Amino acid sequence: MSRNAKINSLLLLLVAALAVLPLALGLGDDEEEPFTGADAQAETAITELEPDYEPWFTPLYEPPSGEIESALFSLQAAIGAGVLAYYFGLRRGRRQGEQRALRDAEPEAGRTPAEGA
Amino acid sequence: MHIAEGFLPPAHAVAWGAASAPFVVHGVRSLTREVREHPESTLLLGASGAFTFVLSALKLPSVTGSCSHPTGTGLGAILFRPPVMAVLGTITLLFQALLLAHGGLTTLGANVFSMAIVGPWAGYGVYRLLRRYDVPLMVAVFCGAFVADLSTYCVTSVQLALAFPDPGSGFLGALGKFGAIFAVTQIPLAVSEGLLTVLVMRLLVQSSKGELTRLGVLLAGNKSEAVAR
């Protein structure tokens, strides 16, 4: 593995560790419901601060179940990941193409007239 | 995590919408100008928007025992300057508000203000400041992305504290409460976002040197940047 690839894998590993540590250390254990969304907690805090507050608008569309919601979230991530992969794939392909073109061009320039004939 | 639909009083919702609108309009102008003058950057613009899409879909556990997600706005702000991110961030927020019931249309203005305006500007500001003092590129990128992420959620906390001050301790009491929910949760996620942004920037340095030079991220003829962390 090249030095570059090593550093890149290390970065990914660190991100994974940061995500797994709170779970592994059981940091959600003293919560009633571990690892809920911060936005749901904020809604609870609002109703504590102002018990009379009623949300005055409801979402136009709400995913009917947790499964559908997670499907749509994965769709969002998949679209993003797809575009990113397309970008880097295209760049890599272009670079390789350029290198190949350079390589192909060089021997011709260096060729003796006898070979060319 | 954005402010949920209907959870800001109408007056606040309208005020944040009015505050955000000019930034988004300005952003649309810069985006169209960028695409018109440099059609070759369309792809990288798309990739920056895609990065925001991926990161704001990843709900990650945090040290507070709750979950939140990064924003991914630092990368685009560093590459294309913050106005462009006002547009790309708004698109992401609209997608989540319309399809996922995450955030909302009435709170869109407030959420755009935190995630698509303050976050990118704060992150970009830190990045530029560090670069001016010759801090290595990747360190500046990390700090910029970290600040873009964390400042977004600090603004969210302020917005909620303004709307719902604590009956006893007022605005500051409520800010402490919302800050504990949003900002503290966000710290490790902001570190993750910083690391992921560095990773993508490293890949860009390897693959798109010409473009980064044109955008001023890499200095022309400076090869040491490519290996510097």
The reply to whether A106 touches chain B by the CB within 8 Å rule is no
Q: Are residues A51 and A71 in the same domain?
A: no
Residues A37 and A88 in one domain: no
- Could you tell me if A23 and A46 lie in one domain? yes
Please check the confidence at residue B225 and state whether its pLDDT lies above 60.
Answer: no
Query: How many domains is chain A partitioned into structurally?
Result: 2
Per-residue pLDDT tens digits for B194-208: 999 999 999 999 999
Cβ partners under 8 Å of residue A67, min gap 6? none
Q: What is this model's ipTM?
A: 0.90
> Are A41 and A9 in a shared domain?
yes
Supply the range of the domain harboring residue A22.
1-57
Q: Cα distance from A112 to chain B (closest Cα, Å)?
A: 35
Mean pLDDT, range A47-63, rounded to an integer: 91
Q: Which residue has the tokens 């990747």?
A: B138
Q: Does residue A70 share a domain with residue A34? A: no
A31 and A15 in a common domain: yes
Pair A33, A78 in one domain: no
Task: Find which of B8, B79, B102 to mutate to test the A interface (most A CBs within 10 Å of its CB).
Answer: B102
Phi, psi of B218 (to 5 degrees): -105, 145
Query: Is A87 in CB contact (< 8 Å) with chain B?
Result: yes
pLDDT, tens digit, 9 for 90 and up, residues B137-186: 999 999 999 999 999 999 999 999 999 999 999 999 999 999 999 999 99
Identity (one letter) of the amino acid at A71? A
Q: Are residues A5 and A42 in the same domain?
A: yes
CA distance A63 to chain B (A): 6
| Structural domains of chain B ordered from first start | 10-217 (1.10.1760.20)
Quick one: residue B46, left, alpha or beta (phi over 0 = left, psi -120 to 50 = alpha)? alpha
Close Cβ partners of B23 (under 8 Å, ≥ 6 residues apart): B83, B86, B112, B113, B116, B117
- Considering only CB atoms, which chain B residues are within 8 Å of A11? 195-196, 198-199, 202
Q: Are residues A107 and A73 in the same domain?
A: yes
pLDDT given at position A32:
81
Nearest to B199 by CA among B150, B145, B119: B145
Contact status, residue B77 vs residue B124, Cβ threshold 8 Å: yes
